[in-house]
Structure 1
């Protein structure tokens, strides 16, 4: 009943933000601690925002690299998590490896952007169909829109590893 009310009366991005924060609270407290928000989630891109604040900044007043990695992890996995949830199948999600290039200090709220949405959705379907462990590299870029929405402050490549149970 509550789920139906949410779907009818609450915009999708707020539903997604609630999902992310509840997941963080219940499963990965660090995600909850950094207060992520879903800015956009559609068939073209997923954008997660993590605010720069006392909890997320380093001694140079820019975003701590561990928080940047947390944002990349969340952005890289959220589309797959949503697809797995919608399928109602049991699928183990993890990341096999992680590559990061930190290009510039992130001195404001950071947006983590994934544009491989159709590929990730197909990947989840393929894993469910095959039942085998499969891997897919997911690219995430981080920008600080309040300073320059076009300038990338960090690039990440995470290998998404899924296995149907």
Structure 2
């Protein structure tokens, strides 16, 4: 199977009775358990998506989600939302201590939560000005733009960077 670059999709995407994605290619071959994978999940989440078979082979490449019609786009977005959980930190409410491990209370796009930061090495710099913070359970929290945080949040964050 070769990789297909999509102008107008020459394939169909649907869910099977188990709720898994099925891609039917131009030759009529049905590929079960298809997984959408973002090429750049943080820096360009809506650009560069691959539809991958259950054995890891790329079946289709999507330059941008905007080029997809309603149903295919909806199915891909639903699948990505169910697989990806990366709340974005909007504000740092408080930290228990400026030494690690410390408990952080943050306001995210998914609500207020508290997590434990094991060490400063769990704060990773991405393409400026983004940061990725991993809690003690491996959940990733994104700060898309540290300069966009309010002043108290930036002050707390600076103590750990």
Q: Work out whether the TM-score is over 0.5.
A: no
Higher helix share: 1
TM range (shorter): under 0.3
Q: TM-score, normalised by structure 1?
A: 0.23
Greater gyration radius: 2
Give the number of the structure with larger relative contact order, counting CA–CA contacts within 8 Å between residues 6 or more apart: 1
